[in-house]
């Protein structure tokens, strides 16, 4: 009986036509993503997308109504990339470690995840089109960075229960931690187009963010943070 139920609940296999359609959809999304990042929204045409994807223009329109919808689908598909950062937060803060150790590890992981060149290009693209497509920008923020903040806040609350962190407002504390960590390298990348920071720079950003965060939210009587090297 159990085996019969299991078989009945298994999803049906895709037909060849459905599989081909899914592959075409993926080709179109990948081509559109690359083109939007290379040329920008305005200079990318549906002909460009068809040529890059290796399909006809009619096939592109079969899968997506227009360029606006295509842009929305591209941005939506990239939200999963930000979810990687959310999982990093959850896994790192779930570990039974001292706050300084856990936060230092987390800071380094987040810098690596959120400062990847493609992630920075996507961020710039969404910001550039935010006035034209506010719903798309809002979704990218709320389902991406917003979820990272929520996960950070939940992790900080659990950390406070076992380590004595003082967190009157965990969500605000999560924003503070993210701001301390990302303000310098993220703004530099957004304004200058320099997508690579040296390992020494990233180490210093991580150490400074953790030291400042613990100075503000650490348990009373904790040892003072070590002196940091001069700014690079």
pLDDT, tens digit (0-9, with 9 covering 90-100), for 28-39 = 999 999 999 999
Q: Please give the Cα distance from 164 to 97 (Å, whole number).
A: 13
As a whole number of Å, the CA-based R_g of the chain is: 22
Tell me, what DSSP letter sits at residue 116? -
Q: Please give the Cα distance from 217 to 81 (Å, whole number).
A: 30
pLDDT of the residue at 9: 54
CB atoms within 10 A of CB 57: 13
The domains located in the chain, with CATH, are 15-64 (1.10.10.60), 75-232 (1.10.357.10)
* Section 14-33 average pLDDT: 86
* Largest interatomic CA distance in the chain: 70
Confidence of residue 41 (pLDDT cuts 50, 70, 90): very high
Please name which of 169, 224, 232, 172 lies closest in space to residue 206, comparing C-alpha atoms. Answer: 232
pLDDT of the residue at 117: 87
Which residue is listed with tokens 């923020």? 141
pLDDT of the residue at 230: 44
Confidence of residue 220 (pLDDT cuts 50, 70, 90): low
What's the mean per-residue pLDDT of the chain? 85
Which has the higher per-residue pLDDT, 202 or 95?
A: 202
pTM for the full predicted model? 0.79
């Amino acid at each position: 009986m159990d085996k019969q139920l299991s078989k009945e609940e298994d999803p049906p296999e895709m037909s060849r036509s459905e599989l081909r359609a899914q592959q075409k959809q993926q080709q179109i999304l990948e081509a559109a993503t690359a083109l939007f990042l290379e040329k920008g929204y305005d200079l990318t045409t549906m002909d460009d997308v068809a040529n890059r994807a290796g399909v006809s223009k009619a096939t592109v329109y079969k899968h997506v109504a227009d360029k606006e919808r295509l842009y929305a689908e591209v941005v939506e598909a990239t939200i999963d990339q930000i979810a990687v950062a959310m999982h990093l937060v959850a896994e790192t803060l779930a570990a039974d470690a001292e706050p300084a150790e856990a936060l230092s590890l987390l800071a380094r992981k987040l810098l690596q995840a959120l400062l990847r060149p493609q992630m920075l290009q996507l961020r710039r693209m969404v910001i550039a089109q935010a006035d034209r497509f506010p719903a798309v920008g809002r979704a990218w923020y709320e389902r991406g960075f917003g979820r990272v903040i929520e996960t950070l806040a939940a992790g900080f609350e659990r950390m406070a229960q076992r380590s004595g962190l003082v967190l009157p407002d965990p969500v605000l504390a999560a924003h503070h931690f993210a701001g301390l960590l990302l303000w310098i390298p993220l703004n530099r990348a957004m304004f200058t187009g320099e997508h690579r920071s040296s390992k020494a720079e990233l180490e210093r950003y991580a150490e400074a963010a953790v030291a400042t965060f613990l100075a503000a939210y650490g348990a009373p009587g904790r040892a003072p943070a070590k002196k940091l090297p001069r700014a690079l």
